[in-house]
Amino acid sequence: MSGDEIKETGGCLCGAVRYEIRGPLRDIVNCHCRMCRRIHGHYGAYSSVVRENLSFTTDDGLKWYLSIQDDPDGNVYRGFCKRCGSSLFWEVKGRETISIAAGSLDQPTNLKTVKHIWVSSVGDYYEITDNLPQRDR
């Protein structure tokens, strides 16, 4: 498969944001930090891709928000659909990759969850019961 072929697609709930990925996706990492729990209503499940391999077929609804909670210096942005509210992306300016909410990917992805991060912030209403690697941060 050449690097120019579409490998994955995804988007928001209402269709105002649709994207294509032309490169490999990282397997899923579950983030249990306070910000992800508040944004997703539970933990965040993210893949990531090299930024230049992500393109939009429609981005009419895409809105980027500076996430001061993640980084007071102003380098972290979260991408949402301004119409339906879907949480779609997480990005640190200057990094080569962008994180993509796993739930926004069209199925099947053939991706697997490979680890949990920010387990020191796990909500008191659930437990991590699998045997995947865990990091405090």
For residue 135, which of 117, 123, 121 has the smallest C-alpha distance? 117
Q: How confident is the model at residue 1 (pLDDT cuts 50, 70, 90)?
A: very low
CB-based burial label for 92 (10 Å; 0-12, 13-18, 19+): middle
φ/ψ of residue 38, rounded to 5: -75, -40
What's the average model confidence in pLDDT over 42-50? 96
What domains can you pick out in the chain, each with its CATH number? 8-120 (2.170.150.70)
CA atoms within 13 A on the CB side of 69: 10
Q: How confident is the model at residue 102 (pLDDT cuts 50, 70, 90)?
A: very high
pLDDT of residue 129 exceeding 90: yes
Cα(95)–Cα(130) distance, rounded to whole angstroms?
30
What single DSSP character describes residue 17? -
């928001």: which residue's tokens?
12
Percent of the chain with pLDDT over 70: 94
